[in-house]
Copies of this chain bind each other. A is one copy, B any other.
Amino acid sequence: MPSTLLSRRDLRFLLHEWLDVARLTERSRYAEHSRETFDAVLDLAERVATERFAPHNRAADLTEPTFDGQRVRLIPQVKAALDVFAETGLLAASLDSSVGGMQLPHAVSAACFAWFQAANVATSAYPFLTLGNANLLLAHGSAEQVDTWVRPMVRGRFFGTMCLSEPQAGSSLADITTRAEPQDDGTYRLHGTKMWISGGDHELAENIVHLVLARIPGGPAGVKGISLFIVPKVLLADDGALGARNDVVLVGLNHKLGYRGTTNTLLNFGEGVHRPGGRPGAVGYLVGEPHQGLAQMFHMMNEARIGVGAGATALGYTAYLKALAYARQRPQGRPVADKDPTVPQVPIVAHADVKRMLLAQKSYVEGALALVLYCGRLLDEQRTAPAEADRDRARLLLDVLTPITKSWPSQWCLAANDLAIQVHGGYGYTRDYDVEQHWRDNRLNPIHEGTHGIQALDLLGRKVTMRDGAGLALLVDTIRATVGRAWKAEGEAAELAARLGGALDRVSLVTRRLWERGDPELALANASVYLEAVGHVVIAWMWLEQLLAVEAATGPTDSGDDVAFYAGKRQAARYFFRYELPRTGPQFDLLESLDRTTLEMREDWF
Residues of A within 8 A of B (CB): 165, 168-172, 174-175, 195-196, 221-223, 254-258, 324, 328, 331-337, 339-342, 345, 347, 349-356, 358-359, 362, 418, 421-422, 425-426, 428-432, 436, 439-440, 443-444, 446-448, 451-453, 456-457, 520-521, 524-529, 564-565, 567-568, 571, 574-575, 578-579, 582-583, 585-586, 589-590, 593, 595, 597-606
Instruction: Return A566 CB to nearest CB of chain B, in Å.
Output: 9
Chain B residue, CB-CB nearest to A565: B605
In-complex Cβ contact of A356 among B170, B223, B528, B586 (8 A) = B528
In Å, the complex CA distance between A399 and B174 comes to: 56
Q: A-B pairs with the 6 shortest C-beta distances?
A: A222-B341, A582-B586, A568-B605, A353-B453, A257-B436, A174-B341
In-complex Cβ contact of A196 among B175, B358, B426, B444 (8 A) = B426
Q: Are A336 and B430 in contact (CB under 8 A)?
A: no
Q: Are A256 and B524 in contact (CB under 8 A)?
A: no
Specify which of A355, A421, A527, A598 lies most central, judged by the most chain B CB atoms within 10 Å of its CB. Answer: A598
Q: Are A524 and B336 in contact (CB under 8 A)?
A: yes
Inter-chain contacts of A349 with B (CB < 8 A): 603, 606
Instruction: Return A530 CB to nearest CB of chain B, in Å.
Output: 11
Inter-chain contacts of A352 with B (CB < 8 A): 521, 524-526, 598-599
Q: Are B568 and A579 in contact (CB under 8 A)?
A: no
In-complex Cβ contact of A451 among B359, B422, B600 (8 A) = B422
Q: Are A345 and B175 in contact (CB under 8 A)?
A: yes
Given the interface pairs A571-B600, A590-B579, A606-B568, the reply to whether A354 lies near B453 with Cβ below 8 Å is yes
Inter-chain contacts of A333 with B (CB < 8 A): 171-172
Instruction: For the A-B complex with A349-B603, A564-B604, A568-B606 known, give 7 more contacts whose Cβ atoms are closer than 8 Å.
Output: A168-B331, A174-B334, A175-B345, A255-B431, A256-B429, A258-B429, A355-B599
Chain B residue, CB-CB nearest to A255: B431
Q: Are B451 and A356 in contact (CB under 8 A)?
A: no
Given the interface pairs A337-B521, A567-B602, A598-B352, the reply to whether A172 lies near B430 with Cβ below 8 Å is no
Inter-chain contacts of A168 with B (CB < 8 A): 331, 345
In Å, the complex CA distance between A347 and B222 comes to: 18
Q: Are A341 and B524 in contact (CB under 8 A)?
A: no
Q: Are A256 and B431 in contact (CB under 8 A)?
A: yes
Q: Are A332 and B170 in contact (CB under 8 A)?
A: yes
Given the interface pairs A195-B426, A324-B606, the reply to whether A597 lies near B585 with Cβ below 8 Å is no
Instruction: Return A445 CB to nearest CB of chain B, in Å.
Output: 10
In Å, the complex CA distance between A328 and B439 comes to: 29
In Å, the complex CA distance between A575 and B436 comes to: 32
Q: Are B359 and A165 in contact (CB under 8 A)?
A: no
Inter-chain contacts of A336 with B (CB < 8 A): 520-521, 524
In Å, the complex CA distance between A589 and B432 comes to: 39
Instruction: Return A578 CB to nearest CB of chain B, in Å.
Output: 6
In-complex Cβ contact of A603 among B331, B350, B422, B425 (8 A) = B350
Q: Are A527 and B353 in contact (CB under 8 A)?
A: yes
Q: Are B447 and A426 in contact (CB under 8 A)?
A: yes
Q: Are B170 and A425 in contact (CB under 8 A)?
A: yes
Inter-chain contacts of A354 with B (CB < 8 A): 453
Chain B residue, CB-CB nearest to A523: B336
Inter-chain contacts of A524 with B (CB < 8 A): 336, 352
Q: Are A598 and B359 in contact (CB under 8 A)?
A: yes
Given the interface pairs A168-B331, A175-B341, A222-B341, the reply to whether A355 lies near B422 with Cβ below 8 Å is no
In Å, the complex CA distance between A359 and B589 comes to: 19
In-complex Cβ contact of A571 among B353, B452, B601 (8 A) = B601
Chain B residue, CB-CB nearest to A321: B606
Inter-chain contacts of A602 with B (CB < 8 A): 564, 567
Specify which of A258, A342, A524, A604 lies most central, judged by the most chain B CB atoms within 10 Å of its CB. Answer: A604
Chain B residue, CB-CB nearest to A354: B453
Task: Offer 23 A-B interface pairs, CB within 8 angstroms, sorted by A.
Answer: A170-B426, A175-B345, A196-B426, A221-B341, A255-B431, A257-B430, A257-B431, A257-B440, A335-B521, A349-B603, A352-B598, A352-B599, A353-B453, A355-B598, A356-B526, A356-B528, A358-B606, A359-B601, A422-B452, A422-B453, A425-B447, A571-B600, A585-B585
Q: Are A605 and B527 in contact (CB under 8 A)?
A: no
Given the interface pairs A525-B352, A601-B359, the reply to whether A582 lies near B575 with Cβ below 8 Å is no
In Å, the complex CA distance between A205 and B567 comes to: 57
Given the interface pairs A170-B426, A195-B426, A589-B582, the reply to whether A564 lies near B341 with Cβ below 8 Å is no
Inter-chain contacts of A355 with B (CB < 8 A): 598-599, 601
In-complex Cβ contact of A328 among B347, B356, B525, B603 (8 A) = B603
Q: Are A597 and B575 in contact (CB under 8 A)?
A: yes
Inter-chain contacts of A439 with B (CB < 8 A): 257, 443
Instruction: Return A9 CB to nearest CB of chain B, in Å.
Output: 12
Given the interface pairs A168-B331, A528-B356, A590-B578, the reply to whether A447 lies near B430 with Cβ below 8 Å is no
Instruction: Return A335 CB to nearest CB of chain B, in Å.
Output: 7
Given the interface pairs A521-B336, A586-B582, the reply to whether A605 lies near B256 with Cβ below 8 Å is no
Inter-chain contacts of A425 with B (CB < 8 A): 170-171, 447, 451
